[in-house]
Amino acid sequence: MTMTEIRAPERTHEGLTYDRVTRIVAHTLGNPSKGYYALLGAAVTLLAVGVICLLYLLRYGLGLAGYSMPTYWAIYITCFVFWVGIAHSGTLISAILFLFRSGWRTAVYRTAEAMTVFAVMTAGLFPLIHIGRQWFFYWLVPYPNQRGLWPNFKSPLVWDEFAIGTYFTVSTLFLIMGLIPDVAAIRDVSTGWRKKLYTITGLGWRGTNDQWRHYRPAYLYLAALATPLVLSVHSVVSWDFAMAQVPAWHETLFAPYFVAGAIYSGCAMVITLLVPMRRLFRLDEVVTVHHFENLAKLCLLTGMIVCYAYSTENFVAWYGGPTPERAAFIYRAFGRFWWAGWTMNICNAFLPWLLWFKKVRTNITALFVISIFVNLGMWMERFVIIAVHLAGEPFEPYVRASYNATWADWGIMAGSFGWFFMWFLLFVKNFPAVSVSEVKEELPPPRRAAAAARHA
């Protein structure tokens, strides 16, 4: 029995044909509407705010960031972890679900993959902003220098650099690999300058048996390489904290806790992006409620793991006795930043319980609202773990200095959202935001027998 015969009958794309899929996706690349320009303008404005704040920061130094002893990791590192986390669901949907042969991924994976690449691009900026003397960023790279110095490979920060570098490269390759057949399909139905653009970027793809013969296994191997990579990257990010001896950081739970949280926030971001995109580009036929329900189920699964992780770390802090760990968790819940701690608990540990109900999972408006709160909650989680636990270090008597974020911090954070959305908007208008060839794989192929039955 072949793979196609044992596949479950397709129920998500009623009445779609190969030609219709190509037309729907090609339609998304037409002349932009006013709404699109408004969104792009908003994104570029936000980016401009961020750039101005960054220029001030470059001129006057990190004193403009709200750092005060002992809080030297704050908004920038929070944003770094947040954006790396957002990136994770993209590779999950495109690589892990590919290996599991989940057919529904085909309609949403391009959006998720593009989101991954742009989120890693955004995340990568923050360590560079954070290092202070930004023009020495290349000191991170192991290169032969006059003093014969090398990076410390026992440091999780160096692991992180390798992990993020690899993740950015591999997820970009994955996105480009998937795009090639689709760009070729768009090339063959477009005209004018777009045809020229897609002729170059389609790399001469024609869908011959020789091309598919090498392409398919290569895609499989990339997925197989990317799957452990997804799990490793956020584990390594979590070790930036877990390897340090700060109360509430030094936990063995951190790696799975961070990976689950990353996928949770990433799936929420996919929903946040897909809902308006589906409406703006009239993708209702391709991206259906069924896809949103499956994304919601992924959110539910990872949300439950996050909820479990929160319970565990609170339990361990309580069960461990009167230690700095317990003091840190009391500070999280009742200290100066209680609002951040509770926003995180409510959005990440309580909100996903709503997704047990099918009515909520199939209501796109409800999902959109939930997804925004999940994004907020996950940003707060990183803020709590990083800034709040540093501000509240309870075992040093001199740390009563309080931490306050500044306009430069918030401006650069807003700029990161502008940067991300600008790239995403430019991508969806210039390249197929839904996979053409893979959505076709989910449709019943045209057969003579079926055609004869229709005409009889």
**Residue of the chain from 65, 114, 117, 163 that contacts another protein (CB under 8 A):** 163
CB of 337 or CB of 431, closer to another protein: 431
User: Residue 289, CB half-sphere, CA atoms under 13 Å: how many?
Assistant: 9
In the numeric block, the tokens 């990010």 are attached to 237
Strand, helix or coil for residue 18: helix
Strand, helix or coil for residue 190: coil
**Residue of the chain from 81, 93, 119, 222 that contacts another protein (CB under 8 A):** 222
Based on the number of CB atoms within 10 Å of its own CB, is 101 exposed (0-12), middle (13-18) or buried (19 or more)?
Answer: exposed
Q: Report d(CA 357, CA 364) in Å as an integer.
A: 13
CB of 251 or CB of 438, closer to another protein: 438
* Residue 438 binding another protein, by CB under 8 A: yes
**Residue of the chain from 73, 205, 264, 337 that contacts another protein (CB under 8 A):** 205
* Residue 412 binding another protein, by CB under 8 A: no
* Shortest Å distance, C-beta 213 to another protein: 5
Q: Report d(CA 333, CA 201) in Å as an integer.
A: 52
8 A C-beta contact, residue 26 and residue 186? yes
* Residue 105 binding another protein, by CB under 8 A: no
**Residue of the chain from 447, 453, 454, 455 that contacts another protein (CB under 8 A):** 447
DSSP code of 134?
Answer: G
Per CB under 8 A, the segment of 108-116, 229-237, 294-302, 368-376 that binds another protein is 229-237
Q: Report d(CA 162, CA 158) in Å as an integer.
A: 6
* Residue 56 binding another protein, by CB under 8 A: no
8 A C-beta contact, residue 191 and residue 202? no
Q: Rule CB under 8 A: which of 354-373 touch another protein?
A: none
In the numeric block, the tokens 């991300």 are attached to 420
**Which tokens belong to 285?**
């036929």
**Residue of the chain from 2, 31, 245, 365 that contacts another protein (CB under 8 A):** 2
In the numeric block, the tokens 């990339």 are attached to 222
* Shortest Å distance, C-beta 419 to another protein: 25
The alpha carbon torsion through 315, 390, 80, 434 (nearest 10 deg) reads 30
Q: Report d(CA 238, CA 243) in Å as an integer.
A: 8
* Shortest Å distance, C-beta 217 to another protein: 5
Give the x/- contact pattern for another protein in 180-199, rule: CB under 8 A: -x--xx-xxx----------
* Shortest Å distance, C-beta 436 to another protein: 8
* Residue 102 binding another protein, by CB under 8 A: no
CB of 240 or CB of 393, closer to another protein: 240
**Which tokens belong to 39?**
């969104």
- Contact residues for another protein, defined by CB under 8 A: 2-4, 17-19, 22, 142, 148-155, 158-159, 162-163, 165-166, 169-170, 173-174, 177, 181, 184-185, 187-189, 204-218, 221-222, 225-226, 228-229, 232, 236, 436-438, 440-441, 445-449, 451
